[in-house]
Amino acid sequence: MNPMPYGLIAEFDSPAAVLRAAEKVRDAGFRRWDVFSPFPVHGLDKVMGFKNSLVGWFALVFGGGAFIGSMLMIWFMNDFDYPIMVGGKPMFSAPQALVPSYILLVLASAVGAFVGMVALNRFPRLYHPLFKNSRFAMVSRDKFFLVIETSDPKFSETETRALLESAGSTHLELAVE
């Protein structure tokens, strides 16, 4: 049985080349495609039309929740459930409860940002069809790849290949699942 094709991998030598190719692919109306690079390519977010990443919201929700939760926790522990007089200080006062709550805000926001990144990128995903392609290993070194998946409604092996060739790809290959 032949393995299922995954997509067409186009290799590029420079960030500018892959950026230009991405513009062409976008204008051609493809939906299921992505660009792979050893570092974030400046301007690619705009070309690919990414909205603001949701990671920031993860951080806000985690952090905000932790702050409110921590203020309530301190009030509950030191004023409600187990009030004990120490140094004549008030049982609960916002300025002193603020410090540990703020620390927990930072902790939870950081965890939230990390969890957000992991969740939005669908990590950990230790297998990817592209890992089978031997040339793709160069993506973390100095090559840039644009991959159009075969599941894209506009995908056609000949036409897509011609488009990517005209976009200046130095090497084209069909990757399999």
Question: What is the contact surface with another protein in residues (CB under 8 A)?
Answer: 13-17, 19-20, 34-45, 48, 50, 52-56, 59, 73-74, 77-78, 81-82, 84, 86-87, 89, 96-97, 99-100, 102-104, 106-107, 109-111, 113-114, 116-118, 120-121, 123-128, 130-131, 137-142
Query: Looking at this protein, which amino acid is placed at residue 120?
Result: L
- In the complex with another protein, the residue whose CB is nearer, 87 or 153, is 87
Query: Looking at this protein, which amino acid is placed at residue 88?
Result: G
- In the complex with another protein, the residue whose CB is nearer, 60 or 172, is 60
Shortest distance, CB of residue 130 to another protein, whole angstroms?
6
Upstream peptide bond of 38 is cis (omega within 30 degrees of 0): no
Contact predicate 148/155, CB 8 Å: yes
List, as own/partner pairs, every contact residues 43-48 make where C-beta atoms lie below 8 angstroms and the sequence separation is at least 24, other chains included.
43/19, 44/18, 44/19, 47/19, 47/22, 47/23, 48/22
- In the complex with another protein, the residue whose CB is nearer, 5 or 23, is 23
- In the complex with another protein, the residue whose CB is nearer, 82 or 158, is 82
